[in-house]
Amino acid sequence: MQPILEVRNLACGYQTHPVFTRVDLTLYPGQLSGLVGPSGSGKSTLIKAILGLVNPWAGEVWFRGKRLKPGTAPPKVGYVPQVETVDWNFPVTAEEVVMMGRYQQQKIWQSWPSKRDRIAARELLSRVGVEHIARQPIGELSGGQQQRVFLARALVGEPEIVLLDEPTSSSDLHVQHELLHLLAELNQQGLTILLSTHDLNSVATHLPWVVCFNHGLICQGQPIDIFTPPNLERTFGAEMVVFHQEDRILIASGGTSLRHRMQDNLPEVLRQTKSKSA
Question: Checking DSSP bridges between strand 209-213 and strand 192-197, what pairing results, if any?
Answer: unpaired
Looking at residue 88, what is its pLDDT? 75
In a domain, residue 29? The reply is yes
Distance CA 196, CA 160 (A): 18
E-only strand ranges, 171-247? 192-197, 209-213, 217-221, 240-245
Whole-prediction pTM: 0.85
For the domain that residue 167 is a member of, what is the CATH number? 3.40.50.300
Do 92 and 200 belong to one domain? no
In a domain, residue 278? The reply is no
Distance CA 183, CA 31 (A): 11
In residues, how long is the chain?
278
Do 54 and 90 belong to one domain? no
In a domain, residue 130? The reply is yes
Do 154 and 17 belong to one domain? no
Do 101 and 199 belong to one domain? no
Do 17 and 37 belong to one domain? yes
Do 143 and 169 belong to one domain? no
Which residue type does 165 have?
D
Q: Say if residues 54 and 12 touch (Cβ distance below 8 Å).
A: yes
Distance CA 230, CA 219 (A): 11
Do 166 and 191 belong to one domain? yes
Do 218 and 167 belong to one domain? yes
In a domain, residue 54? The reply is yes
The domain total for the chain is: 2
Looking at residue 244, what is its pLDDT? 84
Q: Which helix (H) or strand (E) holds 17?
A: strand 17-27
Do 231 and 164 belong to one domain? yes
In a domain, residue 101? The reply is yes
The helix/strand/coil state of 42 is coil
In a domain, residue 7? The reply is yes
In a domain, residue 60? The reply is yes
Looking at residue 104, what is its pLDDT? 55
The helix/strand/coil state of 20 is strand
Q: What domain range is 28 assigned to? A: 1-76+160-239
Do 150 and 168 belong to one domain? no
Do 164 and 106 belong to one domain? no
Q: Which of 79, 44, 48 is nearest to 155 (CA)?
A: 79
Q: Say if residues 192 and 4 touch (Cβ distance below 8 Å).
A: yes
Single out the residue in 107, 142, 158 at which a domain terminates: 158
List Cβ neighbours of 257 (8 Å cut-off, separation of 6 or more): 241
Distance CA 96, CA 126 (A): 14
Do 140 and 175 belong to one domain? no
Single out the residue in 134, 158, 182 at which a domain terminates: 158
In a domain, residue 188? The reply is yes
Residues of the chain with pLDDT under 70: 103-113, 170-171, 255-263, 269-271, 273-278
Rounded to 5 degrees, φ, ψ at 67 are: -75, 130
Q: Which helix (H) or strand (E) holds 35?
A: strand 32-36
Single out the residue in 138, 158, 178 at which a domain terminates: 158
